[in-house]
Amino acid sequence: MSTLSRDEVARVAGLARIDLTPAELDRLAGELDVIVESVARVSEIATPDVPATSHPLPLTNVFRPDVLVEPVDRALVLASAPEHVDGKFAVPQILGEDA
């Protein structure tokens, strides 16, 4: 038996300002009911002795150590740029233009 009625789906859709056709209301009532039943089944299994998890596999972050290196020569980099001004890349202006 459905736990979500067509009227409840219509009410929530109205609150969300979503215009649904009668066929969509019927379809969504059934689909949402499946979701509600699935969550209820998970709630039955999730007992206090089962630890909460955010991912099924244990995850660890892998960090590399920070190592100081010499920076790339600015003049060398700017030499391959199409245009540069005052030691910086020059790019076309995009702000303030009409679309």
Compute the distance between CA of residue 98 and CA of residue 86 in angstroms, rounded to an integer: 28
**Residue range 8-31: mean pLDDT, rounded:** 93
Q: What is the pLDDT of residues 49-59, one digit of tens each?
A: 877 778 888 88
Q: What is the pLDDT of residue 60?
A: 85
Look at residue 98 and tell me whether its pLDDT is greater than 90: no
Q: What is the pLDDT of residue 1?
A: 46
- pTM for this predicted structure: 0.45
Residue 94 vs residues 16, 88, 89, 97: alpha-carbon distances, Å: 37, 17, 15, 6
Which residue type does 93 have?
Answer: Q
Q: What is the pLDDT of residue 20?
A: 94
Compute the distance between CA of residue 5 and CA of residue 20 in angstroms, rounded to an integer: 14
**Residue range 64-71: mean pLDDT, rounded:** 92
Task: Assess if residue 36 is contained within a domain.
Answer: yes
The total number of structural domains that make up the chain: 1
Tokens of 91: 């790019």
Q: What is the pLDDT of residue 39?
A: 87
Task: Assess if residue 68 is contained within a domain.
Answer: no
The domain of 37 spans 6-45
CATH of the domain at 12: 1.10.20
